[in-house]
Amino acid sequence: MKPFRFAAVLLGLALSMAPIAGGTALVQAQGFESKDTGLVEAGQKAGFNTQLPCRTEPGGCIPFFIGTAVNALLGIFGALFLVLILWGGVQYMFAQGEPDRIKKAKQTIINAVLGMIIVAASYAIANFVLTTISSATGGGGGAETGAQTSP
């Protein structure tokens, strides 16, 4: 079971970095735009679609693509969690009272749950940190969202 635990820890560490990369839309150089860089013209000459809606946002489409990849990975890991839980249940049903097989089935279920907790916690912590940094650096929230005063 040690290789499985190592894989679960490695997976958790990888996912703890994914939200940080996916949250680059929150923490980036203020005011960066790709208008006058020549990238649009080069992309059009190469035959790429340059009319993506995120093209005009600060930072371009990179945060959008990273966010899409993170969401896809979270979906894959959720499906993997479901498969591991089902596999542990099948192992438990076919253990036929043998203590070693029951222990192995329980360990599979425990490892799956621990892996999912690590994934969820890493995503939540990274999201909280990035949101806090973004609001502290003027990326949202703060005094400008308060009540308006009349002149």
CB of 121 closer than 8 Å to CB of 76: no
CB of 102 closer than 8 Å to CB of 95: yes
For the segment 19-48, what is each residue's pLDDT rounded down to a tens digit? 555 444 444 455 556 566 777 788 778 887
91-100 contacts, C-beta under 8 A, 24 or more apart: none
CB of 25 closer than 8 Å to CB of 60: no
Compute the distance between CA of residue 84 and CA of residue 90 in angstroms, rounded to an integer.
10
Confidence of residue 84 (pLDDT cuts 50, 70, 90): very high
Distance of CA 119 to the CA centre of its chain: 9
Q: Of 25-29, 105-109, 121-125, which one has max mean pLDDT?
A: 105-109
Give the pTM. 0.53
- Overall average pLDDT of the 100-113 stretch: 95
* Bigger pLDDT: 142 vs 5: 5
Compute the distance between CA of residue 89 and CA of residue 73 in angstroms, rounded to an integer.
24
Where exactly are the structural domains of the chain? 2-139
